[in-house]
Chain A
């Protein structure tokens, strides 16, 4: 599938932003000062960025707790993302959600919430509303390999299919649901094959290959916008860090992360391909790398300096109406 150089530059830029942001978060978290838990997305950039390259204004992306990457990919203000992770005023959710609940209605990003896989059910709602509105908008729900085995996800896939809702269900199978291997927990091992049971197309792609992800999502989004119903995509990938920061990851085979960083890394592969095929020039990519390095410094400096939300606002934003 042809993509414009502008599109390719944007894709690289976003992937670089996510990578550097997460690598930095890994260090900052270890130094203390980041509240709560964080679930880092480093390694999986091509997945979220490949999805978001196909989304328009009005579309909704439903996030998971591994929220930083998709939030940046969808175009949420990275400064507000950082502040929210630090639970500061000026964060996307005014410091009330934190790392796992990045939510920005303005950029079409819906935050993760508790139940694993619940985003797929919420996505049915966004898709239903989009169908009733008739403007051609769609919803894409991200879900992990763990979510594939959560009951609500089957219910949501079933409903999306019987009503031909404009929904794309994107399983980011990163090999582990917390500390449990995906293959172990998933009957049939291949999540994408479950699509057939729900009468929708299912595809599997290499989640570290930006171009493969882009193409698969492109077709699914086309289907949805055309009113042909939902699709399922399984993007196989690996995260470079633990389920959460502090996870010793002893459940992973030794050397796995190094192997992926060396031979399967999405940024390296993207760079190789675009240069080899004369789609972009090396100097453009280097410039982006430099720019992002500075940006990330600035983002973290601002986030750490931002004030916490005011005590007096504790009870604000519970209810929308005073009835």
Chain B
């Protein structure tokens, strides 16, 4: 057990899985970096240095720097997966999924089903999500709701180092295509993480905080926003349950409903957009299956429906903050008592 950053936790999961299983290969743009450059090999280890060190141990047959060819190498990764390799393919920014959308949602997601179960596609796609670095509309989105739409994919959204390592190991060992979403602003987060390998199953939400008055469901970086809000609310005598689903497919609806049954009040905070997002998805499920528990309408705290601006002041209006979560919780408490 030792303190690790989110980045180190992800690196360690990949390292341990690659040591354990020689069919695990790493594919993507600059996953090592420096290939053919004439300078250092393994110059980058990915744009955020997450995969540094792996080329040295596993060699160029297993750590493959690709050309800028998302469509091509995603297709290749799927073909390799169908052939018995266990690829971890890097989609640098989830915003780029448009370039290989067909491969991800029409091939990887549907391959097994469409061919009647003859195959398995044990592919993990690691990708960066999230806003907050002023890098604008095409490098800051949270597209996990889009991936969750497609049956056949599994979607993982870890909010901290401990979850990241255990969920990534599970993703790599999983025999289905998994989209593993790492929030850019969480890479420096530090937490106690076991040194040994361990697995966290999918479809198990984490009960981050117990309170009893309001249920807050939060994803990825928003879990920490929710925790901030909960501290403020506690001073006002409002105690929050905070639930982190950890995976959006499969989604642990049961834990969310359990909490709502007790609190009767639900606030969902999600950095993905207000239309067709996870907040809408979860709200609709609870409205349908937990209606009798609800004492107030469900409130969603999401960004506005706008492309993400670069200007820092505008971007901070975009990203949900603790203040908005506090306001939502107060509102839903007032409605319940009103």
A94-B117 contact in complex given A125-B83, A323-B174, A323-B201, C-beta closer than 8 Å: yes
Q: Is the CB of B103 within 8 A of A121?
A: yes
The stretch from B63-71, B182-190, B282-290, B319-327 touching chain A is: B63-71
In the complex formed, the residue of A with least CB distance to B36 is A162
Q: Within 8 Å of chain B (Cβ to Cβ): is A278? A: no
In the assembled complex, the Cα of A96 lies from the Cα of B69 at a distance in Å of 30
In the assembled complex, the Cα of A97 lies from the Cα of B116 at a distance in Å of 7
In the assembled complex, the Cα of A156 lies from the Cα of B74 at a distance in Å of 10
Q: Is the CB of A128 within 8 A of B69?
A: no
B102, B114, B174: the one within 8 Å of A97 (CB): B114
Q: Is the CB of A103 within 8 A of B115?
A: yes
Q: Within 8 Å of chain A (Cβ to Cβ): is B45? A: no
Q: Is the CB of B103 within 8 A of A317?
A: no
In the complex formed, the residue of B with least CB distance to A113 is B107
In the complex, how many angstroms separate the beta carbon of B87 from the nearest chain A beta carbon? 8
Q: Is the CB of A121 within 8 A of B76?
A: yes
Instruction: State which residues 205-220 of A face B: CB under 8 Å.
Output: none
Q: Is the CB of A128 within 8 A of B113?
A: no
- B81-107 CB mask vs A (1 if < 8 Å, else 0) is 111110000000000000000110011
Q: Within 8 Å of chain B (Cβ to Cβ): is A10? A: no
B71, B85, B111, B154: the one within 8 Å of A113 (CB): B111
Q: Is the CB of A125 within 8 A of B152?
A: no
- A279-323 CB mask vs B (1 if < 8 Å, else 0) is 000000000000000000000000000000000000011111101
In the complex, how many angstroms separate the beta carbon of B144 from the nearest chain A beta carbon? 17
In the complex, how many angstroms separate the beta carbon of A307 from the nearest chain B beta carbon? 15
Chain A contacts for B72, CB-based, 8 A: 121, 124, 152, 154-156, 158-159
In the assembled complex, the Cα of A113 lies from the Cα of B83 at a distance in Å of 16
In the assembled complex, the Cα of A156 lies from the Cα of B76 at a distance in Å of 8
In the complex, how many angstroms separate the beta carbon of B27 from the nearest chain A beta carbon? 9
Chain B contacts for A319, CB-based, 8 A: 112, 152, 154, 175-176
Residue in B103, B106, B115, B202 whose Cβ sees the most chain A Cβ within 10 Å: B115
Q: Within 8 Å of chain A (Cβ to Cβ): is B78? A: yes
Q: Is the CB of B116 within 8 A of A92?
A: yes
In the assembled complex, the Cα of A163 lies from the Cα of B175 at a distance in Å of 27
Chain B contacts for A22, CB-based, 8 A: none
In the assembled complex, the Cα of A175 lies from the Cα of B308 at a distance in Å of 46
A128, A318, A320: the one within 8 Å of B79 (CB): A128
Q: Is the CB of A132 within 8 A of B174?
A: no
Chain A contacts for B83, CB-based, 8 A: 60, 125-126, 128-130
In the complex, how many angstroms separate the beta carbon of B147 from the nearest chain A beta carbon? 14
In the complex, how many angstroms separate the beta carbon of B62 from the nearest chain A beta carbon? 8
In the assembled complex, the Cα of A129 lies from the Cα of B122 at a distance in Å of 13
A122-B79 contact in complex given A113-B114, A155-B73, C-beta closer than 8 Å: yes
In the complex formed, the residue of B with least CB distance to A103 is B115
Q: Is the CB of B67 within 8 A of A96?
A: no
Chain B contacts for A234, CB-based, 8 A: none
Q: Is the CB of B107 within 8 A of A129?
A: no
- B203-247 CB mask vs A (1 if < 8 Å, else 0) is 100000000000000000000000000000000000000000000
Q: Within 8 Å of chain A (Cβ to Cβ): is B80? A: yes
Q: Within 8 Å of chain A (Cβ to Cβ): is B129? A: no
A93-B78 contact in complex given A121-B103, A155-B71, C-beta closer than 8 Å: no
Q: Is the CB of B115 within 8 A of A96?
A: yes
Q: Is the CB of A151 within 8 A of B116?
A: no
B79, B102, B114, B121: the one within 8 Å of A93 (CB): B114
Q: Within 8 Å of chain A (Cβ to Cβ): is B3? A: no
A93, A95, A128, A323: the one within 8 Å of B80 (CB): A128
In the assembled complex, the Cα of A158 lies from the Cα of B77 at a distance in Å of 15
Q: Is the CB of B174 within 8 A of A321?
A: yes
Q: Within 8 Å of chain A (Cβ to Cβ): is B295? A: no
In the assembled complex, the Cα of A220 lies from the Cα of B78 at a distance in Å of 24
In the assembled complex, the Cα of A320 lies from the Cα of B62 at a distance in Å of 24
In the assembled complex, the Cα of A109 lies from the Cα of B117 at a distance in Å of 15
B76, B170, B201: the one within 8 Å of A125 (CB): B76
In the complex formed, the residue of A with least CB distance to B108 is A113
In the assembled complex, the Cα of A65 lies from the Cα of B242 at a distance in Å of 49
Q: Within 8 Å of chain B (Cβ to Cβ): is A70? A: no
Chain B contacts for A139, CB-based, 8 A: 79
In the complex, how many angstroms separate the beta carbon of A269 from the nearest chain B beta carbon? 35
In the complex, how many angstroms separate the beta carbon of B151 from the nearest chain A beta carbon? 6
In the complex formed, the residue of A with least CB distance to B120 is A320
Q: Within 8 Å of chain A (Cβ to Cβ): is B119? A: yes
Q: Within 8 Å of chain B (Cβ to Cβ): is A101? A: yes
Q: Within 8 Å of chain B (Cβ to Cβ): is A114? A: yes
Residue in B119, B151, B201 whose Cβ sees the most chain A Cβ within 10 Å: B119
Q: Within 8 Å of chain A (Cβ to Cβ): is B337? A: no
Residue in A106, A139, A155, A317 whose Cβ sees the most chain B Cβ within 10 Å: A155
List 20 contacting pairs A-B, 8 Å CB cutoff, sorted by A.
Answer: A93-B114, A96-B115, A114-B107, A118-B107, A122-B75, A122-B76, A122-B78, A124-B73, A124-B79, A125-B80, A125-B81, A129-B84, A132-B62, A156-B72, A317-B117, A319-B152, A319-B154, A319-B175, A320-B120, A320-B176
Enumerate chain A interface residues (CB-CB to B < 8 A).
Answer: 60, 91-97, 101, 103-106, 110-111, 113-115, 118, 120-133, 139, 151-152, 154-156, 158-159, 162-163, 316-321, 323
